[in-house]
Chain A
Amino acid sequence: MEEGRIIEVNNLRVSFDEREVLKGVSFSVNQGEITVILGGSGSGKSTILKHLLGLFPVKSDIVSVFGSDLAEVDEDDLRFYKKLGVFYQNGALLNSLSVGENVALPLEQHTNLPAEIIEDMVRTKLNLVNLEDAFYLYPSQLSGGMLKRAALARAIIMDPPLLFCDEPGAGLDPVSLAGLDDLILKLRQQLGMTVLMVTHEVSSILRIADKILFVDNGIIAFDGSLEEARKSEMKALKDFFTVGTGGKR
């Protein structure tokens, strides 16, 4: 694996029953970058993400994360999984636990830190996502935007160097979405996180993306910087930016 590369995918092919969803996907993600996987509904974006997270089995020498071949990483390999933070589309907070307990959960389960330090860490992370007053609230008491921010606080509680975001902006109003983008940029800047994001939100992409991977028909049809993507003449990608920005590119 080349230096500075955090993720490397080589010829990832995935079929469900007879249907080939990914037809040989290859790309890499560099350290400190915000990489966005873009594509139409059903193009295979989330399938790529699930393979990178080890939620689907992969064959040897296909996916490498932090230099480890994902095929050889155990499901309970904490040293590997501690390096990953995952921010799910619907937040995926446990409804039976308060926000504070949700965010503290990975620390309580995977570290021997004293309770006071865990509480300090949780409050610090909630403060970072502007949710310091929600410590004792339950997920059902939060708005959509607050729920996303609480989920982000949980995703970064272990200070992971790599953050996966699965459609983080889905269902948010433009102001909350911009706030979430600012947060992700802040995390990248202050914690040096590498971010791999699956999203449809063009406004969000224009604000934060360094690199675009455009998935179309099961392949990476475009792999380049945001500037290159905006200037690209590829029709499907051009349509995305044109429609997503209301005709302005």
Chain B
Amino acid sequence: MKKKRPNQSDLFTEEGNVIRIAPKLTIDNTPDFLYQTDLLFRNKKSGDISVDLSEVKEIDSAGALAVHSLSGMAQKYGISLNIRDASSDIQSKLDLFKPVDSKTTKPHRKESFLVKIGDIATHVLAEYVTTFFYMVSDILFWSIKDLFQSKQRRKGEFVNQAVSIGVNAVPIVMSMAFIIGLVLALQSSSQLRNFGANIYIVDLTVIAMMAEMGPLITAILVAGRSGSAIAAEIATMKVTSEIDALKTMGLNPIRFVVVPKIYGSLITLPFLTVLASVAGIGGGALAAYLYLDISPEIFYNRMPEALYQKDIITSLIKSIVFALIIVVTGTFFGFKVEEGAEGVGKSTTNSVVAAITLVIIADSILGLIFY
């Protein structure tokens, strides 16, 4: 139900050039009071007005500041205003709540476009590129060192990470790869049928899934699933001072938090990629059977002719590179977090976007190298 707006008489009464304010002027009726007084002053245009506060019994900060603002409002319409007859209690509130002459102004810098570009470039170079390479070298150093210092390794953490990043991702990765393999073969089947080249659906599916789609689908899904989790975990640890606590306990956060994730992802991503490729090929085989009458047996017999060892190796190399990209990106953005909950959200989003972008760029570069 819409709230009824108070009438002018509920807010003040007008007797000649005197405005007598109603007993209550609080945050609830101040907006209406300001609206009505503005209307009144506008109609008066000029002259003298006295604001009588003798009947006011209750006033809060909003009301007091509204009374103070009347002078400015009156001045705007060329009216001379006199505020009078406030009780001592009301006067003390008016004295307490009066506009503050603040010396602070909103920070504002006017810079030329070129200076802005330069600032951004310096910032990106200093804050991102340099830090990124320092972090990569740190991660590599601790990952290798940790291999030879098993005593200081957290027991069970590698397995936890392998399960979290790899094993738990198996259902989603396999089902997505199956669907993509099926759709890929389905879309290609009509074109191949036109040329009477039905059997080449096997080559197409196997090469596409093994060399390209398998590693890529896996990496994108893991970046969305585990990359975001890594960034959020590290960012939260940083804003809650857990990272500082590790440092002051003499524990290197990279070694303690990141290295198990590196191991976990490096071990599991190649397996996940193989599973994704197999599921994708399975999807392709189903489409080939349904739309091109290629039986699973024919499909299976044709596979060795289409599949080269090089494609399998390419796929595994890609998966290892992608694993590194996902963990390093998540870690980087986790450590770059700014204060607060919003910072954690931003870090997580940036990490996923950057990881997927870098994975696709790396995929193109590796594709060109191994072509």
Roughly how many angstroms separate A246 CA and B27 CA in the complex, as a whole number?
45
- Is A121 among interface residues, defined by CB-CB distance under 8 A? yes
In the complex, chain A residues whose CB is within 8 Å of the CB of B68? 120
Interface size on B, residues (CB 8 A): 30
- Is A136 among interface residues, defined by CB-CB distance under 8 A? yes
Asked, given contacts A124-B61, A140-B340, whether A117 binds B66 with beta carbons under 8 Å apart, the answer is yes
Identify which of A127, A128, A158, A159 gathers the most chain B CB atoms within 10 Å of its CB: A159
Interface size on A, residues (CB 8 A): 28
In the complex, chain B residues whose CB is within 8 Å of the CB of A82? 27
In the complex, chain B residues whose CB is within 8 Å of the CB of A158? 27
A sample of 24 cross-chain residue pairs with beta-carbon separation below 8 angstroms, ordered by A number, consists of: A82-B27, A95-B341, A96-B340, A107-B27, A111-B27, A112-B31, A113-B31, A113-B62, A116-B69, A120-B65, A120-B69, A120-B99, A121-B61, A121-B62, A121-B97, A125-B61, A126-B100, A132-B102, A133-B102, A136-B104, A136-B107, A139-B339, A139-B340, A190-B92
- Is B343 among interface residues, defined by CB-CB distance under 8 A? yes
Which single member of A123, A125, A159 contacts B27 (CB below 8 Å)?
Answer: A159
In the complex, chain A residues whose CB is within 8 Å of the CB of B104? 132-133, 135-136
B65 pairs with A121, CB closer than 8 A: yes
- Is B157 among interface residues, defined by CB-CB distance under 8 A? no
Minimum CB–CB distance from A26 to chain B (whole Å) comes to 32
- CB contact list, B205-246 vs A, under 8 A: none
Which single member of B30, B107, B338 contacts A113 (CB below 8 Å)?
Answer: B30
- CB contact list, A92-109 vs B, under 8 A: 94-96, 107
Interface of A is mostly: helix
Which single member of A96, A117, A126 contacts B62 (CB below 8 Å)?
Answer: A117
- CB contact list, B283-330 vs A, under 8 A: none
In the complex, chain B residues whose CB is within 8 Å of the CB of A247? none
Which single member of A94, A107, A116, A135 contacts B102 (CB below 8 Å)?
Answer: A135
Roughly how many angstroms separate A119 CA and B170 CA in the complex, as a whole number?
55
Roughly how many angstroms separate A127 CA and B61 CA in the complex, as a whole number?
13
Roughly how many angstroms separate A135 CA and B96 CA in the complex, as a whole number?
19
- CB contact list, A117-166 vs B, under 8 A: 117, 120-121, 123-128, 132-133, 135-136, 139-140, 158-159
Which single member of A124, A136, A139 contacts B100 (CB below 8 Å)?
Answer: A124
Which single member of A111, A120, A132 contacts B31 (CB below 8 Å)?
Answer: A111
